Amino acid sequence: MQRILIDTDPGVDDALAILYAMLSPELQIEAITTVCGNVPVTQATQNLLTILDVLDLDEFPAIAQGEAEPLVKPLITAAHVHGDDGLGNVSQLRNTDGSPLYPPANTSVLFTSAVDLILEMVTRYPDELALVALGPLTNVAKAIREDAAKMQRLQKIVVMGGVFEEYGNVTTTAEFNIFVDPHAAYEVFDFGVPIHIAPLDATHQVVLTGERLHAEIGKREDNISNFLKDATQACMEFYRQHVGFWGFHIHDALPIGMLTHPEHFESVDAYVQIETEGTLTNGMTIADLRRERRHPNPNARVCIKVAAEAFLDHFFKRLY
């Protein structure tokens, strides 16, 4: 059983990753923290509770709301990809009686600080806890600043982020999670805890087409199926208009798969550096991935290849 803490900025692909993780018996989700990114952190927290409500859980993992702003840069969000509410605008859907189909959740039950919850969990499970970072690394960097000695006891950090041998998805050179807070990423990659990273080079190998989603859902009308139908339309429409296909990349589901089925993934050791000063290159992740140029002191394992069909088959096997 792998104990994990998920740090997330839901986000449609975050939502699918959280469902996948919650339905994976290989994982024990000890806590979930929210961070600013795709949407402001208050909305990310609302969205997390909406996602967990889909599962009709008897009890939630410990939850805490995190940082509202990156360490240095002003926040940029991705509502144009994920919808104004970050979940495909499900918050606007109504029942026939006019009541919200996805009612706002009560956020008063939460821990007040993601940093405190991260530090509490790594202290409770020294050397056993994997921190799965699905958004900007602001909370992780703040926890390191707060208590580096405690954070050294993290087993590993599994990051969705960065891009090495492809173009970025925010600028030509940068992927969103790193671009939003490159200063946080710099501090996390410089910290020394083992890092496993799923960059766009890997996540772009897995395409969830609208056809595949439709085929998997079929005639089902359960909570998960209805949520998948409701939450993914806006994102797939963005992809149809701007990426050229009806579907989307489930970026954030890959770090979950890397933990439950590592055999579906191939990674290489590398020394990853983050550009924090550049204008054209701000948020760029730099590493030489050539085998003959391996760095003597790598700080990360970079995923370069995914068995995409096996991964997708497993993803839907877990959801259904």
Residues near ligand RIB (CB under 6 A): 9, 11, 13-14, 37-38, 78, 134-135, 160, 169, 175-177, 251-252
**CA 193, chain centre distance (Å):** 19
Nearest to 231 by CA among 101, 96, 67, 131: 101
Say which entry of Ca ion, ligand RIB, none residue 169 contacts (CB below 5 to 8 A, set by partner kind).
ligand RIB
**Binding of Ca ion at residue 162 (CB under 5 A)?**
no
Catalytic residue at 261? no
Rounded (to 5) percent helix, strand, coil in the chain: 40, 20, 40
Q: How far is the CB of 249 from ligand RIB (least distance, A)?
A: 8
Applying CB under 5 A, the span of 18-26, 65-73, 150-158, 246-254 interacting with Ca ion comes to 246-254
Q: What single-letter amino acid sits at 225? A: S
Q: Rounded distance, CA 200 to CA 176, Å?
A: 10
Pick the binder of Ca ion from 5, 6, 14, 254 (CB under 5 A).
Answer: 14
Kindly state whether residue 136 participates in binding Ca ion, applying the rule CB under 5 A: no
Nearest distance, CB of residue 28 and ligand RIB, angstroms: 22
What CA–CA distance (Å, rounded) separates 36 from 69? 6
Task: Tell me how many residues contact Ca ion (CB under 5 A).
Answer: 6
Per the residue annotation, which of 251, 261, 264, 314 is the catalytic one?
Answer: 251
Nearest-approach distance from CB 148 to ligand RIB, in angstroms: 25
Candidates 135, 136, 161, 283; binder of Ca ion (CB under 5 A) is 135
d(CA 255, CA 261): 10
Q: State the Cα–Cα distance between residues 25 and 175, nearest whole angstrom.
A: 30
Q: Please report how close the Cβ of residue 4 comes to Ca ion at its closest, in angstroms.
A: 15
Which of ligand RIB, Ca ion, none has residue 274 at its interface (CB below 5 to 8 Å by kind)? Answer: none
CA distance 32 to 133: 10
Task: Yes or no: say if 27 and 259 are a contact pair by the CB < 8 Å rule.
Answer: yes
Asked if 70 and 138 touch (Cβ cutoff 8 Å), the reply is yes
What residue ranges bind Ca ion (CB under 5 A)? 9, 11, 14, 134-135, 252
Q: Which residues are catalytic?
A: 251
